Amino acid sequence: MSELQINTTQNVNIMFTAASVGERILAYGIDFLIKIAYASTIGYVIFNVLGLWDIMKQMDQWSQAAIIIVFLLPIIFYTLIFESVLEGQTIGKKVVKIKVVKIDGYQASFPDYIVRWFFRIIDINMMSGIIGLVSIIISDKNQRLGDITAGTSVISLKDKVTIDHTILENLKEDYKPTYPQVIKLSDNDARIIKETFERARLASDHKMMLKLKKKIVEVTGITPVHNETHTFVRIVLKDYNYYTQHM
């Protein structure tokens, strides 16, 4: 597996492990089996048990085609629906533990998933997936054409991480939060804040720490009661963990 370096808008480099071709094929295979299972089960129930097939025989070809298309819609939009609902994962990707992310460090959005889904026509459906396979192999970020166009990539979530590499903070049982406005942050925001904080702390970069504090205040609307920048950012991270654990 190759390393994927994502540079966030805060100019923080975060390292991920790019999903391998094998992992992506395995996830695709699982999703494909789910589609087959749906088509077989629902098709048998609707067309045979409920007798829709006999009714369709009395219809014209356009009506028959319309019914079949409606029946196939969940299969056609399977990837788009699940990646949108599961934030970058289909059931197959979830099982294999891989995920779609933006290469700028943010969570991929619905328009990004639409672009990826549309380009499946070229990447996967044309030439039996050879175009997508070649694109992933030659791309330095393991991207198929849909990823390149959407500005996304697929990463592995199997990395072993400790609490120091996540947004988690050790909290005492009697911990009292200070800034309720932190609920405006997302998990990805909190992760970027912690990455930036740790980088600035290790480099003793006071200027970066001040910029981080200013950005947090701008996004959340917090009025800091802690004058020391280092303490303020640490409390923000702790408060975020407190509220997300108690919501």
Looking up tokens 């089960």 gives 41
The predicted pLDDT at position 186 comes to 82
Cβ atoms of 152 and 116 closer than 8 Å: yes
What is residue 3's predicted lDDT score, i.e. its pLDDT? Answer: 61
Q: Where are the beta strands (DSSP E) in the chain?
A: 3-7, 13-18, 98-102, 152-156
Rounded distance between C-alpha atoms, residue 235 and residue 176, angstroms: 10
Residue range 183-203, pLDDT digits in tens? 888 877 888 888 888 888 888
Distance, in Å, from the CA atom of 115 to the CA atom of 147, rounded to the nearest integer, reads: 8
Q: Which long-range contacts (CB under 8 A, 24 or more apart) does 160-164 make?
A: 164/198
* Average pLDDT estimate for 236-241: 87
Contact 155, 141 (CB under 8 A): no
Name the pTM for this structure: 0.62
Q: Write the pLDDT tens digit of every residue in 102-117.
A: 886 667 899 999 999 9
Q: Is 40 exposed, middle or buried (0-12, 13-18, 19+ CB in 10 A)?
A: exposed
What sign does the dihedral 117-17-237-202 (CA atoms) show? negative
User: From the centroid of its chain, how far is CA 85?
Assistant: 10
pLDDT at 141: 83
State the SS3 of 144-172.
Answer: CHHHHHHCEEEEECCCCCCHHHCCCCCCC
Residues of the chain by 3-state class (helix, strand, coil), percent to 5: 60, 10, 30
Residue 71 has pLDDT above 50, yes or no: yes
Confidence category of residue 165, pLDDT binned at 50, 70, 90: very low
How would you list the strands of the sheet with 152-156, edge to edge?
3-7, 13-18, 152-156, 98-102
What average pLDDT does range 208-230 have in this prediction? Answer: 90
Please give the C-alpha separations between residue 236 and each of 143, 164, 195, 203, 224, in angstroms, as whole numbers. Answer: 35, 16, 13, 20, 10
How confident is the model over 118-138, as a mean pLDDT? 92
Average pLDDT of the chain, as a whole number: 84
* 8 A C-beta contact, residue 110 and residue 83: no
